[in-house]
């Protein structure tokens, strides 16, 4: 009887390669291999190419004298005029201060939503009865139009800062609860069975198995929902137009300063992107094993 030897690492790699590119077909070549991640440089170049196409199209549509432009200035200001107006937006209309005010409001409201939503979501993911108890909140919060929450927050909090932070809290907390619940429920049952076999108690399993394994998915959800919250703050700042980047947008629109409207919108996207990159870097530090999967 011939003894079966375990496969070597080279044989395993060859087997995986055969699975990825089966006989009789092709997974693609060059940049278009199916589900094959390109290098960081290639991804950056692809993103720059997309940005270049967008800016190039913008320039073509708005180039030349006003009467000969493809798109009229009232709908899309020229790219050149928009870039030139950045100086006045920065110095004369306090772009930095208003952007920081909006960012601070989002951090306050979203931070409170995390403090409430993550523990509740973890409990709902661990105990089905608690999940059923919170179901009306998550269903209501995720399906009610965000704009409908504006009158409610005005009644509850008035026109001050608490209305804006309260609006962000209410608009995002149900999503956080739902995503945290789903993250806990997605933990493979085999880890719980192993912990039970080793004699772990219920609370030990929650603290040392379910929560650590669910946190990477929860962290990814935090990244996505923060950008959502940053978009919501524009609605809240449009009510009592005192400070904030949302105020810049509404006032600029009323005055016909469409260059400032577009620039302010780009600043919102840039701030949300920078915060997302920061959270991504923190996530790589907290969960380094995810990069190896």
In this predicted structure, the answer to whether residue 218 has a pLDDT above a threshold of 90 is yes
At residue 160, φ and ψ (nearest 5 deg) are -85, -165
Please answer whether residues 224 and 183 qualify as being in contact, where contact means their C-beta atoms are separated by less than 8 angstroms.
no
Say what the pLDDT of residue 194 is. Answer: 87
Query: For residue 1, what pLDDT is reported?
Result: 45
pLDDT band at residue 144 using 50, 70 and 90 as cut-offs: confident
Q: What is the pTM of this model?
A: 0.78
Average pLDDT on 206-219 reads: 91
Domain ranges of the chain: 84-292
pLDDT at position 178 over 60: yes
Tens-place pLDDT, residues 84-126: 888 888 888 888 888 899 889 999 999 999 999 999 999 999 9
Query: Phi and psi of 39, rounded to 5°?
Result: -70, 165
Tokens of 36: 């094959």
What is the structure's pLDDT at 293? 46
pLDDT in tens, 53-96: 988 888 888 887 777 778 887 788 888 888 888 888 888 888 88
Average pLDDT of every residue of the chain: 82
The answer on pLDDT for 142 being more than 60 is: yes
pLDDT band per the 50, 70, 90 thresholds, residue 19 = very low
Q: Are 138 and 178 in contact (CB under 8 A)?
A: yes
Calculate the alpha carbon distances from 138 to 39, 134, 135, 212, 224 in Å.
Answer: 39, 6, 5, 23, 17
Instruction: Of 42-46, 87-91, 224-228, give the range with the top mean pLDDT.
Output: 224-228
Higher-scoring residue by pLDDT: 195, 242: 195
The whole-number pLDDT of residue 27 equals 52
More confident residue, 45 or 289: 45
Give the up-direction half-sphere exposure of residue 120: CA atoms within 13 A in the CB hemisphere. 20
Assign a CATH topology to domain 84-292: MetI-like fold (1.10.3720)
Three-state SS sequence of the chain: CCCCCCCCHHHHHHHHHHHHCCCCCCCCCHHHCCCCCCCHHHHHHHHHHHHHHHHHHHHHHHCCCHHHCCCCCCCCCCHHHHHHCHHHHHHCCCHHHHHHHHHHHHHHHHHHHHHHHHHHHHHHHHCHHHHHHHHHHHHHHHHCCHHHHHHHHHHHHCCCHHHHHHHHHHHHHHHHHHHHHHHHHCCCHHHHHHHHHCCCCHHHHHHHHHHHHHHHHHHHHHHHHHHHHHHHHHHHHCCCCCCCHHHHHHHHHHHCCHHHHHHHHHHHHHHHHHHHHHHHHHHHHHCHHHHHC
**pLDDT for 153-167, tens place per residue?**
888 888 788 888 999
Confidence label for 2 from pLDDT (cuts 50, 70 and 90): very low
* 138, pLDDT greater than 70: yes
């Amino acid at each position: 009887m011939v003894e079966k030897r375990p496969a070597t690492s080279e044989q395993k790699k060859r087997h995986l390669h055969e699975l990825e590119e089966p006989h009789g077909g092709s997974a693609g070549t060059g940049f278009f291999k199916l589900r094959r991640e390109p290098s960081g440089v290639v991804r950056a170049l692809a993103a720059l190419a997309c940005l270049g196409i967008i800016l190039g199209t913008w320039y073509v549509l708005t180039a030349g004298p006003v009467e000969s432009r493809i798109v009229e200035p009232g709908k899309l200001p020229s790219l050149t005029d928009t870039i030139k107006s950045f100086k006045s937006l920065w110095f004369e209309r306090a772009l930095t201060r208003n952007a920081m005010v909006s960012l601070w409001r989002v951090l306050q409201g979203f931070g409170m939503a995390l403090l409430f939503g993550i523990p509740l979501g973890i409990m709902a993911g661990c105990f089905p009865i608690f999940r059923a108890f919170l179901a009306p909140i998550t269903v209501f919060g995720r399906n009610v139009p965000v704009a409908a929450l504006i009158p409610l927050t005005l009644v509850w909090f008035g026109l001050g800062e608490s209305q804006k932070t309260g609006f962000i809290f209410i608009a995002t907390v149900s999503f956080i609860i739902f995503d945290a619940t789903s993250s806990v429920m997605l933990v493979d049952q085999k880890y719980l069975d192993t912990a039970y076999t080793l004699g772990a108690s219920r609370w030990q399993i929650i603290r040392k198995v379910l929560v650590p394994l669910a946190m990477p998915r929860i962290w990814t959800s935090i990244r996505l929902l923060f950008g959502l919250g940053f978009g919501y703050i524009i609605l809240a700042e449009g009510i009592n137009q005192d400070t904030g980047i949302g105020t810049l947008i509404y006032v600029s629109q009323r005055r016909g300063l469409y260059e400032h409207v577009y620039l302010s919108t780009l600043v919102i996207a840039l701030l949300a992107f920078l915060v997302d990159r920061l959270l991504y870097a923190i996530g790589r530090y907290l969960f380094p094993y995810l990069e190896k999967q």
